[in-house]
Structure 1
């Protein structure tokens, strides 16, 4: 049986929220994309007051890359990783991945962030699997339509088990790890025998690690 070391992404292995970093990166590359800033602010307000759920927020927010060709998006997110994403990783997270990989664990990253760019974390040589929220393409063009559910909470557990079943992998969850900055990941934290909260600001029964 395999042992997993599962990591959330945003604020767990990264110092910043990655989707917002992508938005800022696109604006930096082309100032004309500032025209999407009011929409981003509007989405935040609608979510905060409970009118938009996370699906609606993401589908609306991603207007800034709506209609981009699949090949162009691939080039964009590769540059985004090389120029920005890899520079906001916690050193302690990378060290933990290396340590656990050397101890025989498979490294899984599971995030609510869009899979079309979190797949770039396969650049971390220790990573075995990346799972994120899926978005669709039509005729080779990106569309702002979420495929399936937002990969958060119980959905992370469902997606993980789906992947393990499809790949015929048996896991010893009692000996597995889960690292997250948020209790929104409690379903995954409860699944494993070795859960940890990262930089959590309140006291909790789950052990808290301070990563830099």
Structure 2
């Protein structure tokens, strides 16, 4: 059986969060982006202070930026973002670890709280075997701004992995993240590594 290698995305394979850069990329102009961000600053501040959940902040921002837009149009923008903008945000040290696992033939899975709408295209381009991210709700061909199903965050990552690959996937597996929020995933894996800027330290 192939060895599973699970990778967080933002901060692990990239130098920064990718959600706001994506939303900025999707905006018609810079002034529009900052105006929308300003309107959602109270909930973002509440999230940073621990007074609002990741899901609440995420849905507030997605509703502001994406609600009512056609799925096909946003997906086209997301694909362009994955092809042309994300390469500028990658973290070389983290990508080197991914490439080493790919070279060994491990089953490499991207597991991210960021939206699948651009992660799937990035994963396809970069040879990932599977991509698990937060899904965006679509009704009648348009985005609602809500999350479809569970937010792929914290223990949500563990549940998504097990739903996709079964509980036996953790045997002889390895997982990487830059955030303590992902400790559930790191501790479920046979080997979990927590790091900053590509320098990973084993947590178990």
Q: Per the shorter chain, which TM-score range?
A: 0.7 to 0.9
Work out the number of aligned pairs and report it. Answer: 201
Match of 1:191 among 185, 188, 191: 188
- For 1:162-188, what per-residue CA distance to the aligned partner results, in whole angstroms no more than 9, with x for missing partners? 0114xxx953x3422111001111111
Give the corresponding residue for 1:77. 78
Q: Which runs of 5+ in 1 are unaligned?
A: 208-212
Change (3 A) 1:182 1:33: closer
What is the correspondence of 1:1-212 to structure 2 with a 5 Å cutoff? 1-27=1-27, 29=29, 31-62=31-62, 63-165=64-166, 171=169, 173-199=170-196, 206=203
SS state at 2:143 partner = strand
Instruction: Give the whole-Å Cα distance in 1 for the aligned partners of 2:158 and 2:149.
Output: 14
SS of corresponding position for 1:16: coil
**RMSD of Structure 2 on Structure 1 (CA):** 2.3
**Which structure 1 residue ranges, 4+ long, deviate > 6 Å from structure 2?**
none
Distance 1:194 1:204 in 2: 10
* TM-score calculated relative to the size of structure 2: 0.88
Residues 109-131 of structure 1: CA deviation (Å, up to 9, x unaligned): 10111222222222343301110
Secondary structure of 1:127 counterpart: coil
The residue aligned with 1:210 is none
Alignment partners' CA distance in 2, 1:183 and 1:32: 33
| Per-residue deviation, 1:29 | 4.4
| Structure-2 separation of matches of 1:170 and 1:47 | 34
Moved more, 25-34 or 36-45: 25-34
Spell out, residue by residue over 1:130-185, the C-alpha distance to the aligned partner (whole angstroms, 9 max, x if none).
101122101110111112222112111111010114xxx953x3422111001111
Aligned CA distance change for structure 1 residues 96 and 8 (closer, same or farther; 3 Å): same
Of 7-16 and 148-157, more deviation after overlay is shown by 148-157
